């Protein structure tokens, strides 16, 4: 069977730097807030029929449903066989907010006070299930949980469902709401987070990430189907890849060999060579080891210089499993607007890193072309998504 082209026809985003694509883009090009990156302008009541329904849904699902609702509104009317419409939403941690609250309740007031909604609220597949039930989409409904690579992996797998003919339309992305007291303490005590609460990817003074929450969902659709219904095509998924470092539960493989193999295999799923890549959206978490490994992988793949590269985590912070989905939306908007947003906060690339062309200071005009979007997660999970302009 001939592989079908995969169009992007809708995007939705809930982020610490803006809710909705326009606000998100403005935030990517503005000065980042100080400290932690929570979503402050979010009202779950706006997406649920009644307050009781909202209270029975963890924040990770609320954020996912909000982003999905935006994406579907932009994509327009999606009709056809509901068995050929799928949902694939990733998360690194799931409903940890509900879990923490209920554990405290158990300790203070006993087992009988634990909510009967604990399990459906905390389970990682709740975002996908909720979106499918809201829209009546009866095709494959799955969840990817590969730490900070989850969003990118969800988009890669969803595109394969369409390319291979299983689905005509898929709502794909990721959501994360792990900014709980215990969650923050865990990341802090493992020294993964910046002690200064400053994210400055690839700089010499980087000392860890700034934790964030958020969600992003993209509507992926068979290209011919999208054209036939007159949809506005925002971009195209050309391919992607997933590899494992098989090295360490948190540290990347030396020399970025896992990241390198992932980018090479992602290119092999397309007809592209490294010379064809016009931009790289970096994982760029601002941790010393991760940024170093990614820069080394870039230098090996592209040689000296390479294409322009950016990390939006200087603004968004690191939304863990949702990061790759947020960054896919950023890439689509970058292509639509002919601008690459800067790597906020960072003013100079660490001179000890291989030479990379990191976009600094302000957005850089470019001629949109094929782009790699990288995500690397604890456990050695690597993901590279290949996107192209419409």
Active site residues: 148, 283, 318
Report yes or no: 236 and 218 within 8 Å, Cβ to Cβ. Answer: no
- Which among 255, 89, 251, 110 is positioned nearest to 176, based on CA atoms? 89
Rounded Cα distance between 360 and 340, Å, is: 10
**Rounded to 10 degrees, what is the CA torsion of 326, 332, 335, 339?**
-20
77-97 burial string, b = 16+ CB within 10 Å, else e? Answer: ebeeeeebbbbbbbbbbbbbb
Residues 147, 250: Cα–Cα separation, whole Å: 10
Q: At what angle do helices 96-109 and 181-189 cross, to 10 degrees?
A: 110
Task: Find the radius of gyration of the CA atoms of the chain.
Answer: 20
Non-local CB neighbours of 190 within 8 Å, separated by 6+ positions: 250
Non-local (6+) Cβ contacts of 183 within 8 A are 93, 96, 100, 211
């Amino acid at each position: 069977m001939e592989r079908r082209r995969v169009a992007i026809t809708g995007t939705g985003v809930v982020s610490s730097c803006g809710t909705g694509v326009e606000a998100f883009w403005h935030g990517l090009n503005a000065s980042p807030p100080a400290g932690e990156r929570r979503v402050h302008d979010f009202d779950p009541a706006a997406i649920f029929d009644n307050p009781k329904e909202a209270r029975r849904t963890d924040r990770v699902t609320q954020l996912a449903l909000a982003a999905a609702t935006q994406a579907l509104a932009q994509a327009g009317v999606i009709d056809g066989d509901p068995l050929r419409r799928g949902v694939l939403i990733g998360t690194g941690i799931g409903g940890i907010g509900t879990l923490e609250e209920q554990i405290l309740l158990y300790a203070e007031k006993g087992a009988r006070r634990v909510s009967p909604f604990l399990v459906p609220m905390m389970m990682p597949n709740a975002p996908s299930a909720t979106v499918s039930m809201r829209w009546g989409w009866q095709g494959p409904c799955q969840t990817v949980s590969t730490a900070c690579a989850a969003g990118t992996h969800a988009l890669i797998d969803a595109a394969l469902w369409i390319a291979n003919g299983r689905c005509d339309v898929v709502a794909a992305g990721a959501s994360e709401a792990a900014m709980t007291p215990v969650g923050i303490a865990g990341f802090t005590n493992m020294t993964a987070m910046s002690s200064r609460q400053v994210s400055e990817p690839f700089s010499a003074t980087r000392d860890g990430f700034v934790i964030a929450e958020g969600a992003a969902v993209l509507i992926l659709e068979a290209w011919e189907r999208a054209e036939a219904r007159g949809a506005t095509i925002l971009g195209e998924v050309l391919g992607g890849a997933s590899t494992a470092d098989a090295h360490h539960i948190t540290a990347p493989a030396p020399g970025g060999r896992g990241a390198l193999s992932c980018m090479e295999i992602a290119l092999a799923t397309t007809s592209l060579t490294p010379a064809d890549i016009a931009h790289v959206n970096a994982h760029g978490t601002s941790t010393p080891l991760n940024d170093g490994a990614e820069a080394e992988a870039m230098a090996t793949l592209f040689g000296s210089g390479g294409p322009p590269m950016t990390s939006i985590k200087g603004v968004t912070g690191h939304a863990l499993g949702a990061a790759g989905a947020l960054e896919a939306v950023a890439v689509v908007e970058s292509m639509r607007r002919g601008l690459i947003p800067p790597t906020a906060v960072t003013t100079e690339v660490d001179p000890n890193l291989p030479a990379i062309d990191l976009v600094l200071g302000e957005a850089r005009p470019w001629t949109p072309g094929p782009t790699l979007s990288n995500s690397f997660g604890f456990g050695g999970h690597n993901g590279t998504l290949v996107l192209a302009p419409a």
